[in-house]
Structure 1
Amino acid sequence: MQNNFGLLDEERGFSFRNCKRNESLISSGYKQPNITKTGTTICGVIYKDGVVLGCDTRTTRGRIVWEKCCEKIYKIQEHIYVAGAGTAADMDAMVKLMRANSEFHRLNTNRQIIPVSYLRTITSRMFFQYSGAISCHFIIGGYDNKGPHIFIVHKEGFTMSLPYATMGSGGYIAMSIFESKWKPDMEENEAKELVADAITGGIMNDLGSGSNVDLCIIKKNCSEKIYAYRKVGITGARIFDYSMKHGTTAVDLKAIKNIDVDIIEEKIEKMNI
C-alpha cells in the first residue's frame, strides 16, 4: 500500500526512484528549472517595554548586489510593523494586502488598536491559500492591549509566537547570537544591541546580507525607526589618487623603446566597398 509520497509502507528514508526518470528527461533536452536564492537577515526580540525588529539593507539579484540601502521593515499600523525576507515583488504585494486588511478591520470594528494576532491570522490564511507559491516570509512585531508580541509567518502559512525570532538566509547565524545572549526582561539598549549583533552576524557570514543594520522600536504609545543604526559594510579609503586630467589616459610605462622590424613581404589590397 502506498502513502501520499508514492512510497510503500515498508519503505523508509529518501527515495531514489525518480533519479533515472530525471536523467532521462535531461538527456532528451528537458531544461532544468533554475534555483532562485534570495538573501536577507531579519530578526526581532521582545524586551521589557516593547519590541525591537532589525534587518540588513542589501538586495541581491542572483550573485549581483542590486541595492545597498533597501528598506525591509514595513509599517502596517501605528503599533504594528513587519520585517520581510524573500522575493521583493511578492513581499511588496503582501505588505499592501496586510495594510488594507488591517485598516478594513479597524474601520469595521471601530478599534483604534487592532490585535497583532489578527494580522498574523489573515497573513497566514493568505499564504496557506497559495500553498507556498508566494515566496516571502515575515516577522510581525507589535504592541496591543495584551502587551508586546512577535509572530513568524512562513510562506506555507505556518506561524509561531516567540520571545525572539530570526528568518532569512542569515537567520541561522543570527539565531546563534540570540541563543547565547538573550535574557528575559531586557532593557531597551540591551535589546537594540542584541538585535544589532544578530544582524551583524548575518551580514558578516552570509553573502546575501550586507550593508547596514536598520532597527524599529515599538512601544505601547509610540514607535521609532532607526536607519543605519550600525554600519557594517564600510568600504576602505582610497590610498592613491586616481584622478586624471580631461582628455588624457593613464599609461603605466616608464620607458618607450623602438623595435627594429625587418619587412619580409609587403602587399597592399584594395577593399571592395
Structure 2
Amino acid sequence: MPGFDFSNHTRNAALHARGVPLPKATSTGTTIVGCIFDGGVVIWCAGAGTAADTEFTTALISSQLELHSLSTGRKPRVVTCMTMLKQHLFRYQGHIGAYLVVAGVDPTGVGLFTVHAHGSTDKLPYVTMGSGSLAAMSVFETQWKSKMTEQEAVTLASNAIQAGIFNDLGSGSNVDVAIITKEKTTLKRGYVKPNERSKKQKSYVFKRGTTAVLNEKIITREEISKYVTVTELGTETTLGEKMDLDV
C-alpha cells in the first residue's frame, strides 16, 4: 500500500499562518458494538472512522490473510487478523482513520478485539467504538452477563446500537447484525429500523409569489461572458434526466 504524500504540508502551513482558512472536513458518526455469547460472537457494523480508509484497509488485510492461508495451508486465526491490522495502522500513526471491531471463531475459541487508528488494540467480552460508543457502552455495562444465549446477545447489542443512534446525531437510523458461530455467519441487514421515514401529511409546495422578493439583480449574458465561457445547447443536444420535484 503506497504511503501518504506530505509534499504540500509546508506550503499549507505557510498559507494558514498568513490567515488563509483551511478547508473543513465533514464529520459523520458511527456506532459499532460487539459482544460474546455462549458459542459465538455478535458484531454490528464493524467499521468506524473514514469510510474509504476502513474499506481499503479491510480489503488489504483480507488479501494478506488469503495469502497467509495459502502459505501455511490452514485457516488464519482471529488474532492473526488483529495483529496484521495493528501493525499496518501503527505504521501510519493514525493518519488512516480506520477504527475496527474484529471478531470471529477459530480453533482457539471466540475472539473479539477492537483496533484503533493509531494501532492500539483491546480484547474484551463486549466492545463499542465510534461517536456513539459511550451511550452503547452504558447499555453493555448495565445489562451484559456471561454465558448469554444467542438471542440475548442479539437483543443486548440491538439495544446498545439504538442507544448510540438516539444519543448521537451521526449514527444513522438502522441496526445491522452479524452472528458468527463456528458453523456459519448470518448477516441481518435492517434488523431494527427505529427511525423509518414517514410520509408527509400534506404538500409543502408553495405557489410562485408566496415569498416576497426584497431585492432583484439581473446579470446579462454580455456581463457574465467576461468571466466564464457561455455555450448554448442546441435543441438536439442530449440533456440529463429531469430532477424529481416534490409535489
TM-score under structure 2 normalisation? 0.74
Match of 2:141 in 1: 179
Shift in Å at residue 38 of structure 1?
3.1
* 1:204-243 mapped onto 2 (5 Å cutoff): 204-240=166-202, 242=203
Match of 2:131 in 1: 169
- Is the contact between residue 33 and residue 126 of structure 2 (CA under 8 Å) also seen in structure 1? yes
Match of 1:143 in 2: 105
- Give the partner amino acid of 2:57: M
Match of 1:44 in 2: 34
Shift in Å at residue 97 of structure 1?
0.6
- Give the partner amino acid of 1:192: V
Which SS does the other structure have where 1:167 is aligned?
A: strand
Which SS does the other structure have where 1:43 is aligned?
A: strand
* 1:46-85 mapped onto 2 (5 Å cutoff): 46-55=36-45, 83-85=46-48
Which SS does the other structure have where 1:132 is aligned?
A: coil
Measure, in 1, the Cα distance between the counterparts of 2:140 and 2:199: 33
* 1:187-198 mapped onto 2 (5 Å cutoff): 187-198=149-160
- Give the partner amino acid of 1:96: A
Shift in Å at residue 169 of structure 1?
0.4
Match of 1:122 in 2: 84
Which SS does the other structure have where 1:189 is aligned?
A: helix
Match of 1:106 in 2: 69
Larger radius of gyration: 1
TM-score under structure 1 normalisation? 0.67
Aligned positions, number: 196
Mapped pair 1:86 → 2:49 = yes
Which SS does the other structure have where 2:28 is aligned?
A: coil
Measure, in 1, the Cα distance between the counterparts of 2:17 and 2:118: 33
Shift in Å at residue 26 of structure 1?
6.6
| Residue 199 (structure 1) aligned to one of 143, 152, 161 | 161
Shift in Å at residue 215 of structure 1?
0.1
Shift in Å at residue 205 of structure 1?
1.1
Shift in Å at residue 250 of structure 1?
6.3
Measure, in 1, the Cα distance between the counterparts of 2:188 and 2:122: 26
- Give the partner amino acid of 1:41: T
Shift in Å at residue 35 of structure 1?
5.1
Structure 2 gaps of 5+ residues are 1-14, 210-247
Structure 1 gaps of 5+ residues are 1-24, 56-82, 244-248, 254-273
Match of 2:58 in 1: 95
Q: Using a 3 Å threshold, how does the CA distance of structure 1 residues 201 and 108 change in structure 2: closer, same or farther?
A: same
Measure, in 1, the Cα distance between the counterparts of 2:129 and 2:85: 16
Q: Deviations over 1:51-108 (max 9, x none)?
A: 00113xxxxxxxxxxxxxxxxxxxxxxxxxxx11011111111011111011011100
Which SS does the other structure have where 1:235 is aligned?
A: coil
Bigger helix fraction: 2
Which SS does the other structure have where 2:189 is aligned?
A: strand
Measure, in 1, the Cα distance between the counterparts of 2:27 and 2:97: 10
